[in-house]
Amino acid sequence: MKRLLLVLLAFVSLVPLWPASGPLSPEQKAWLARAERYEKNGWIYLRIEGEPRERGFQHGYLLAKEITESLRVRRQVWKHTSGMDWEWLVAKSKAMYTSKVDPENLAEIDGIVEGLAAVGSPSSRDEIVAFNGWFELAWYWWPEEKKKLGVQSPDPPKQGCSSFIATGSITAGGGIVLGHNSMNGYAEADANVILDVAPARGRRILMQTTPGWIHSGTDFFITSAGLVGSETTIGGFNGFDEKGIPEFVRFRRATQDASSIDQWVSIMKHGNNGGYANAWLIGDVNTNEIARLELGLRYTAFEKKRDGFFIGSNIAEDLKVLRLETATNSDDIRDNSVARRVRWKQLMRQFSGKIDVELAKRFEADHYDETLLKDNPGSHSLCAHGDLDPQPGWSGSVPFNPFGTFDAKVVDSRMAKQMSFAARWGSACGTAFDAPKFLAAHPQFDWLEGLLKSRPAWPWTQFQAGGKK
Statement to judge: residues 384 and 342 lie in one domain: yes
Residues of the chain above pLDDT 90, percent: 90
Contacts of 4 by beta carbon, 8 Å cutoff, 6+ apart: none
Amino acid at 95: A
Statement to judge: residues 180 and 66 lie in one domain: no
pLDDT tens, position by position, 285-297:
999 999 999 999 9
Give residue 7's pLDDT band: very low, low, confident or very high (50, 70, 90).
Answer: very low
Statement to judge: residues 166 and 121 lie in one domain: no
pLDDT tens, position by position, 115-124:
999 999 999 9
Statement to judge: residues 209 and 90 lie in one domain: no
In a domain, residue 420? The reply is yes
CB-based contact 186:426 (threshold 8 Å): no
What pLDDT sits at residue 8?
Answer: 37
Contacts of 182 by beta carbon, 8 Å cutoff, 6+ apart: 159, 161, 189, 191, 208, 218, 220, 405, 406, 407
Statement to judge: residues 261 and 288 lie in one domain: yes
Q: Which long-range contacts (CB under 8 A, 24 or more apart) does 393-398 make?
A: 393/334, 393/335, 393/336, 393/337, 393/339, 394/157, 394/160, 394/336, 395/157, 395/235, 395/236, 395/327, 395/335, 396/154, 396/155, 396/156, 396/157, 397/157, 398/444
Contacts of 433 by beta carbon, 8 Å cutoff, 6+ apart: 186, 387, 426, 427, 454, 455
CATH number of domain containing 381: 3.60.60.20
Which range (61-65, 304-308, 391-395) has the least confidence?
A: 391-395
Q: Rounded to two decimals, what is the model's pTM?
A: 0.94
Statement to judge: residues 173 and 127 lie in one domain: no
Statement to judge: residues 282 and 334 lie in one domain: yes
The domain boundary residue, chosen from 99, 114, 149: 149
In a domain, residue 469? The reply is no
What pLDDT sits at residue 22?
Answer: 75
What pLDDT sits at residue 381?
Answer: 97
In a domain, residue 398? The reply is yes
pLDDT for residue 6 is more than 70: no
The domain boundary residue, chosen from 89, 124, 149: 149
d(CA 249, CA 59): 17
Statement to judge: residues 92 and 203 lie in one domain: no
Statement to judge: residues 373 and 394 lie in one domain: yes
Give residue 21's pLDDT band: very low, low, confident or very high (50, 70, 90).
Answer: low
Q: Strands (DSSP E) along 168-285, which ranges?
A: 177-185, 193-199, 205-209, 220-223, 227-233, 278-284
Count, residues in the chain:
469
Statement to judge: residues 261 and 285 lie in one domain: yes
In a domain, residue 454? The reply is no
Residue 277 structural domain:
160-445
pLDDT tens, position by position, 180-239:
999 999 999 988 999 999 999 999 999 999 999 999 999 999 999 999 999 999 999 989
Question: Which backbone phi and psi does 305 adopt, to 5 degrees?
Answer: -160, 160
What total number of domains does the chain contain?
2
Average pLDDT rounded to a whole number, residues 384-403: 89
Contacts of 289 by beta carbon, 8 Å cutoff, 6+ apart: 167, 261, 283, 304, 305, 306
Statement to judge: residues 247 and 120 lie in one domain: no
pLDDT for residue 12 is more than 70: no
Statement to judge: residues 96 and 180 lie in one domain: no
pLDDT for residue 18 is more than 60: no
pLDDT for residue 421 is more than 90: yes
Helix (H, G, I), strand (E, B) or coil at 216: coil
d(CA 402, CA 322): 27
CB-based contact 199:49 (threshold 8 Å): yes
Give residue 393's pLDDT band: very low, low, confident or very high (50, 70, 90).
Answer: confident
Average pLDDT score over the chain: 94
Average pLDDT rounded to a whole number, residues 52-77: 98
Return the DSSP state at 300: E
pLDDT for residue 67 is more than 70: yes
Give residue 20's pLDDT band: very low, low, confident or very high (50, 70, 90).
Answer: low
CB-based contact 247:275 (threshold 8 Å): yes
In a domain, residue 127? The reply is yes
pLDDT tens, position by position, 152-190:
888 777 778 999 999 999 999 999 999 999 999 999 998
